[in-house]
Structure 1
């Protein structure tokens, strides 16, 4: 399967199965378009046929001379023979075999606090309550969770634990105690914990920052961009804005971490479809690691992204991509999470095919010790998998998630971005369709656009 598109003056051809990307001239681009439309399954055999070559020449001779066309056909033949164009997909059997392997847990999302000191309008956690009661995790429950991770991690040495909420700083002492406990476990079991923290910053202070800089491999700082946007969607419980309170703390955090190993992470909604301004606002404040993501909400929410918003969002991604290229060339570049693609290394094949590992390699833990496939499933009765005392008792849920991959989703089979998004988010699929093997359609539309912009940026900066 091949996907081709034009963006910012570049003709880009993406070979889906191999991951090869080609920036081509007009004649090669147009011939590939003809091959996609007319060639049989064996494209190389088709293009090697002299009758086919004559047919291609006859269809394009109004725009190009025959020698140009013949030279382009020769180039295309070489790419096909090198298995970097019209490559066959060989991964379906691989992922089925991979999924039969014994499950190894490598990451936990610890819900340290089901409580929050903000009242964000789009919060899927319902101000930290997650369809349930306000609660904070005890040290004892957290210890059992880390013990479970050690016991179920197999031979994997590097493990990840994210302190999440609600707002985890509302239970900061337990966070510190669990980090210390984890460091002791490292010595006893030859493991290495990578701790991360997600915070709204309200309670952030110098002591917390010092500890985080010592112990947290990554810190996610929640801010939506411009003051008016942030304060509208992320007010405190008394209705006041939080921008002016958190901004100086976030700037200090980013600088203290040398502009690495953190993200300022925002959400854009129907109310700020000009979200590129929010990204650039954060960049202008000096932040180098930025993520501003579309809200995921049902259509009846007034802030939800609508189908009719998509063309506007596409334009905004294009605008942002062009500005990022310009800034990078001026030495003022920054990373935008959704435009970050590693075209040379990147995720392993299994991750490309099956995604984040929710429900199998990755689990969320509630304050009282229940296991769910990920933080977005917490509180959903049908996805309660077990607890820290008994382990995974609903193995059928885990087995269902083990089978969740790009080949299990009909909408992924013909999508060019499937090896970049890995089939999308299972929780979003369930939210909109009641199934983890469907997809969130608006999310797919936006993901495809982001992939195209990301590849175009790579092409522009490679010149």
Structure 2
């Protein structure tokens, strides 16, 4: 499979199965588009009014060489890999600890229903969290590096337990060949100097939730009584990001139908001094007034193009920044298993409620059909785990023909289920945006290589 596109002045050709990327001239671009279905003579006849015949012949020879070298029109060699992948023993590598099913904000788009997750407000006890870490260690096999994300609701509403669990994890490290990578996601309302100091010592990454411009953020991320959160959190986030040397954090926002000009929110955050930025499309049912609609897609595509061009312009200057969805490793990248199956939800990655129940990920919490077990008894409904183990790009019909499948790994299982009632489908609007992001990310790499 070959994917061709033009972006910000570049003619780009992606050989999907090999991962090879070619930035070519116009004649080579057009030759590639005809190469598989037409003879050399037919290609020359079709293009001779646009290009000199010698250039067309040279392009044909070049494309043939790329094909012979395995850099273009390559066959898919990965599908047979999934047969063995399904049989792999299950190793749990990461937990999302719902340390607090409660929140001090009332974000309109929150899938957690202001932290309650379709249930009751609750804070995780130290005993439950301790058992969760024990469960992780017991089910991690020979894997040494383990990840634990303190999540909510708002995890800082239960910060004492966060500190206790980190301390317990560090004790485990002394007696077993394990290392915990702790992360924290916060809205910043309760953030203070003591928490920043602790996080800088213990947290490998911190996600700071903010949507961008003041009017955008305050519309969607207000306090329960309606006041906006922007003025309170921005100075804290700026101080926190600087205290981490502008590394190992993200300011993470959500754009909606209300701000389809979201590139301005990304650039606003960059101009505030943040170097690590992620602003992502809301996932909402079409009946929600803030949901991304199909009619929004053309403008959103333009916004991604605009953002990518601005990032190229800023590259190497003091205004440079990273945008999470444009960060692609074209040389190494994820292993084959990750490219095929994604985040590992339901198998390698599980969510833990405040009372210790296990779910495939945080977005399934509260849906009893996906209750897998608990941290004391382990995974009891192994059929749920087995279903997720079979979730990969070859099990999804929409992914088989998609050029971006090895970059998005099939997308989010929760989004697929919420829109189609099946984890083996795909959220269509999300797919459209993902494909655009991949194109922009590759264009940025091409521009950097040209420099």
Tell me the TM-score normalised to structure 2 length. Answer: 0.99
- 2:206 pairs with 1:214: no
In the alignment, the residues of structure 2 paired with residue 54 and residue 97 of structure 1 have an alpha-carbon distance, to the nearest angstrom, of: 44
User: Structure 1 unaligned runs (5+)?
Assistant: 40-51
- 2:219 pairs with 1:232: yes
Q: CA deviation at 1:331?
A: 4.2
Residue aligning to 2:446: 459
Residue aligning to 1:425: 412
Cα displacement string for residues 220-248 of structure 1 (whole angstroms, at most 9, x for unaligned residues): 00000001110110000111011111111
Residue aligning to 2:21: 21
Give the alignment of 1:348-363 within 5 angstroms. Answer: 348-363=335-350
In the alignment, the residues of structure 2 paired with residue 330 and residue 172 of structure 1 have an alpha-carbon distance, to the nearest angstrom, of: 38
Give the alignment of 1:181-192 within 5 angstroms. Answer: 181-192=168-179
Give the RMSD, CA atoms, in angstroms. Answer: 0.7
In the alignment, the residues of structure 1 paired with residue 318 and residue 269 of structure 2 have an alpha-carbon distance, to the nearest angstrom, of: 16
Moved over 3 A (4+): none
Given that 2:326 and 2:440 are in contact with CA atoms closer than 8 Å, whether structure 1 keeps it comes out as yes
In the alignment, the residues of structure 2 paired with residue 209 and residue 333 of structure 1 have an alpha-carbon distance, to the nearest angstrom, of: 25
Cα displacement string for residues 34-74 of structure 1 (whole angstroms, at most 9, x for unaligned residues): 125x25xxxxxxxxxxxx21121111111112211111111
- 2:7 pairs with 1:2: no
In the alignment, the residues of structure 1 paired with residue 403 and residue 104 of structure 2 have an alpha-carbon distance, to the nearest angstrom, of: 42
In the alignment, the residues of structure 2 paired with residue 82 and residue 15 of structure 1 have an alpha-carbon distance, to the nearest angstrom, of: 12
In the alignment, the residues of structure 1 paired with residue 434 and residue 13 of structure 2 have an alpha-carbon distance, to the nearest angstrom, of: 17
In the alignment, the residues of structure 2 paired with residue 376 and residue 77 of structure 1 have an alpha-carbon distance, to the nearest angstrom, of: 47
Cα displacement string for residues 178-211 of structure 1 (whole angstroms, at most 9, x for unaligned residues): 0000001111111000000000000001111100
SS in 2 for 1:22: strand
In terms of mean alpha carbon deviation, does 92-101 or 22-31 score higher?
A: 92-101
- 2:91 pairs with 1:99: no
Residue aligning to 1:401: 388
In the alignment, the residues of structure 2 paired with residue 199 and residue 383 of structure 1 have an alpha-carbon distance, to the nearest angstrom, of: 26
Tell me the TM-score normalised to structure 1 length. Answer: 0.96
- 2:350 pairs with 1:381: no
Cα displacement string for residues 4-30 of structure 1 (whole angstroms, at most 9, x for unaligned residues): 000111000000000000000111100
In the alignment, the residues of structure 1 paired with residue 199 and residue 92 of structure 2 have an alpha-carbon distance, to the nearest angstrom, of: 24
Number of corresponding residues: 450
Residue aligning to 2:437: 450
Give the alignment of 1:28-427 within 5 angstroms. Answer: 28-36=28-36, 38=37, 52-427=39-414
Cα displacement string for residues 111-168 of structure 1 (whole angstroms, at most 9, x for unaligned residues): 0000000000000000000010000000000000000000000000000000000000
Given that 2:271 and 2:319 are in contact with CA atoms closer than 8 Å, whether structure 1 keeps it comes out as no
In the alignment, the residues of structure 2 paired with residue 359 and residue 10 of structure 1 have an alpha-carbon distance, to the nearest angstrom, of: 40
User: Structure 2 unaligned runs (5+)?
Assistant: none
In terms of mean alpha carbon deviation, does 77-86 or 390-399 score higher?
A: 77-86
